[in-house]
């Protein structure tokens, strides 16, 4: 099972620790806000709006190295765009995994 | 030195683009914006060489922004969505389309394409050229809202505001009749009274000194009546 990691960020940084710290700070700040926004919006059943939030979170999933998670988020976003009342359970599992990870680093 | 700006609602994406630019000679990021609306003013007042632009942004998309630019820089679209590539290249100013997460190699290629290309003259894709004059963007609650000009049937002045009435809804905008008239096709819109501009194509009937448009009865001032009559295809 894949787990969140900073491999992409470290590789991109070329050893620039300041950049690594900055991006982790932004992830720690933005991710919980987006997670809450997602949860609130998903409850309203406004699928298009929820898709917009999933879209934004997708980038964070990808930079944390979750390739399968990214594909799942992609699929979920597509279903939401087509106005399907689909289950977000798998997507929410990914978000929870990221939350735990970010709280530890 | 090529001047660049970054427009992306995701702060991590802006940081990554900054980082990638810092590794390339002769590229300088001079500003970054979390949304297109904040960037428009900057773009209208400053000349830049390359614009890194996200497509999916709330309220005003990357494509919406490109359409507003009279003299666009080279645009590198950066998105998590692969599905807009065909649409993207309809715009002459778009030099490349990068899918997140970005890699240094692919980013470098995009920069190379942008620097090799001559500046473009016009942002609008040929297919949409004719459509541009049919749209008007108005500032409402710090959002630029698109209104289809042919859908406007009446504009009413109300103090410091104007009420733009369309088939779908009314838009209250802080502006003047004079300003909006300058943006509308004069063959279609006519000021019939100091407080009213009408879309001539939407008139239902005319009686004495008033016109009926949808359910609104609009006064026609004596000074404007003859111009209105001239515009009508009378039997």
The answer on pLDDT for B4 being more than 80 is: yes
Cβ of A62 within 8 Å of Cβ of B10? The answer is no
Q: Where are the domains of chain A?
A: 7-104
**What kind of architecture, by CATH, is found in domain B2-126?**
3-Layer(aba) Sandwich (3.40)
Does the pLDDT of residue B190 top 50, yes or no? Answer: yes
Q: Report how far residue A3's alpha carbon sits from residue B196's, in angstroms, rounded to the nearest whole number.
A: 63
Q: What does the pLDDT look like over B105-128, one tens digit per residue?
A: 999 999 999 988 766 555 555 444
B23–A contact, CB cutoff 8 A: yes
Which residues of B fall within a CB distance of 8 Å from A58? Answer: 80
pLDDT value for B60? 84
Separation in Å, CA of B80 to nearest CA in chain A? 7
Top-confidence residue, B121 or B200: B200
The Cα–Cα gap between B174 and B143 comes to 12
Q: Is the pLDDT of residue B83 over 50?
A: yes
Name the closest residue on chain B to residue A25, using Cα atoms: B12
Report the alpha-carbon angle A89-A90-A94, nearest 5.
115
What would the 3-class secondary structure string for chain B be?
Answer: CEEEEEECCCHHHHHHHHHHHHCCCCEEEEEEECCHHHHHHHHHHCCCCEEEEECCCCCCCHHHHHHHCCCCCEEEEEECCHHHHHHHCCCCCEEEEEECCCCHHHHHHHHHHHHHCCCCCCCCCHHHHHHHCCEEEEEECCEEEEEEHHHEEEEEEECCEEEEEECCCEEEEECCHHHHHHHCCCCCEEEEECCEEEEHHHEEEEECCEEEECCEEEECCHHHHHHHHHHCCCC
Task: With cut-offs at 50, 70 and 90, classify the pLDDT of residue B7.
Answer: very high
Interchain contact A62–B (C-beta under 8 A) = yes
B161-187 average pLDDT score: 90
CA distance B88 to B63: 8
The average pLDDT across B28-45 equals 90
Share of chain B above pLDDT 70, in %: 93
* Domain locations in chain B as residue ranges: 2-126, 148-231
CATH number of the B148-231 domain: 2.40.50.1020
The shortest C-alpha distance from A75 to chain B (Å) reads 12
- Contact between A98 and A5 under an 8 Å Cβ cutoff? The reply is no
Q: How far is A46 from chain B (nearest CA, A)?
A: 15
Q: Say yes or no: B126 contacts chain A, CB-CB below 8 A.
A: no
pLDDT at B129: 45
Structure confidence by residue, pLDDT tens digits, A62-98 = 999 999 999 999 999 999 998 877 788 899 999 999 9
pLDDT of residue B125: 53
Q: Check if B2-126 and B148-231 are the same fold.
A: no
- Determine the pLDDT at residue B131: 41
Instruction: Give the per-residue pLDDT at A86.
Output: 79
Instruction: Say how far apart CA A89 and CA B10 lie, in whole Å.
Output: 24
Residue B230 confidence (pLDDT) above 90: no
């Amino acid at each position: 099972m894949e787990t969140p990691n900073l491999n992409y960020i470290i590789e991109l940084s070329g050893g620039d620790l300041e950049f690594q710290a900055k991006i982790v700070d932004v992830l720690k700040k933005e991710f919980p806000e987006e997670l809450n926004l997602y949860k609130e919006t998903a409850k309203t059943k406004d699928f298009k709006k929820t898709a917009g939030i999933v879209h934004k979170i997708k980038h964070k999933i990808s930079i944390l190295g979750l390739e399968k998670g990214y594909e799942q988020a992609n699929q979920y976003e597509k279903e939401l765009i087509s106005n399907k009342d689909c289950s977000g359970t798998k997507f929410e599992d990914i978000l929870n995994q990221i939350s735990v990870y970010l709280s530890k680093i | 030195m090529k001047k660049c700006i970054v427009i992306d609602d995701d702060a991590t994406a802006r940081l990554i683009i900054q980082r990638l630019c810092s590794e390339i000679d002769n590229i300088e990021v001079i500003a970054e914006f979390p949304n297109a609306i904040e960037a428009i003013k900057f773009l209208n007042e400053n000349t830049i060489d390359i614009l890194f632009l996200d497509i999916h942004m709330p309220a005003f998309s990357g494509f919406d922004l490109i359409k507003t630019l009279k003299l666009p820089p080279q645009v590198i679209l950066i998105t998590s969505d692969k599905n807009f590539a065909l649409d993207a290249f309809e715009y002459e100013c778009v030099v490349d389309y990068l899918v997140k997460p970005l890699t240094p190699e692919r980013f470098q290629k995009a920069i190379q394409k942008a620097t090799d290309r001559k500046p473009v003259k016009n942002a609008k894709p040929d297919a949409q050229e004719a459509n541009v004059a049919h749209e008007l963007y108005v500032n409402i609650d710090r959002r630029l809202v698109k209104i289809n000009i042919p859908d406007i049937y009446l504009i009413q002045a109300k103090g410091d505001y104007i009420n733009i009435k369309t088939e779908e809804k009314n838009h209250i905008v802080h502006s003047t009749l004079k300003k909006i008239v300058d943006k509308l096709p004069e063959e279609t819109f006519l000021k019939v009274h100091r407080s009213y501009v009408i879309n001539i194509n939407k008139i239902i009937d005319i009686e004495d000194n008033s016109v009926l448009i949808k359910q609104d009865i609009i006064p026609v001032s004596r000074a404007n009546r003859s111009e209105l009559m001239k515009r009508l295809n009378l039997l």
